[in-house]
């Protein structure tokens, strides 16, 4: 759980702080630089929290039900419901970005792999070995095409 102070920062200072954060994150040249900056700024629990929230939104866009998302991401149903309400009430910038990424083939493969890692559980569920093998076959075919 993230610990935040109950003392509020006035709006002008908050704008300056957000500008500084933008400038720092904008200085990354590639993915490795960005991840290095994120690891310097955020603690591992904070990184996990943000990653889970993005995954929740992605899975909601894919049409996965709230209970399944909460179960497999080890999140509370209240957290999933909160993002579900935000998702249905308005079209946020983050939802638009995820939607754009889903249209790109390479990032779509990343999300497909993430989705498979979360939901395919060979040995625990009947039929999942076949799903695992099919997924591994598709991954190897993608690697051959990309090479």
Give residue-wise pLDDT tens across range 31-85.
788 888 888 888 888 888 888 888 888 888 877 888 888 888 888 999 999 888 8
pLDDT in tens, 108-127: 666 677 667 666 666 656 66
DSSP labels, 42-63: S-HHHHHHHHHHHHHHHHHHTT
Q: What is d(CA 111, CA 113) in angstroms, rounded to the nearest whole number?
A: 5
Using alpha carbons, select from 37, 4, 9 the residue that is nearest to residue 22.
Answer: 37
Burial class (CB in 10 A: 0-12, 13-18, 19+), 56: buried
- Angle between helix 44-61 and 105-119 (nearest 10): 100
pTM of the model: 0.61
């Amino acid at each position: 759980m993230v610990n935040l102070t109950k003392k509020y920062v006035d709006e002008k200072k908050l704008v300056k702080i957000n500008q500084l954060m933008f400038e720092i994150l904008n200085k990354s040249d590639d993915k490795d630089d960005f991840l290095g900056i994120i690891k310097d700024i955020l603690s591992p629990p904070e990184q996990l929290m943000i990653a889970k929230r993005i995954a929740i939104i992605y899975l909601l866009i894919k049409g996965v039900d709230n209970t399944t998302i909460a179960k497999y991401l080890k999140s509370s149903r209240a957290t999933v419901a909160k993002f579900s309400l935000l998702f249905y009430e308005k079209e946020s910038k983050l939802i638009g970005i995820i939607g754009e990424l889903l249209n790109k083939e390479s990032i779509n493969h990343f999300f497909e792999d993430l989705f498979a890692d979360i939901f395919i559980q060979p040995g625990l569920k009947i039929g999942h070995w076949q799903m695992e093998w099919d997924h591994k076959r598709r991954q190897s075919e993608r690697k051959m095409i990309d090479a």
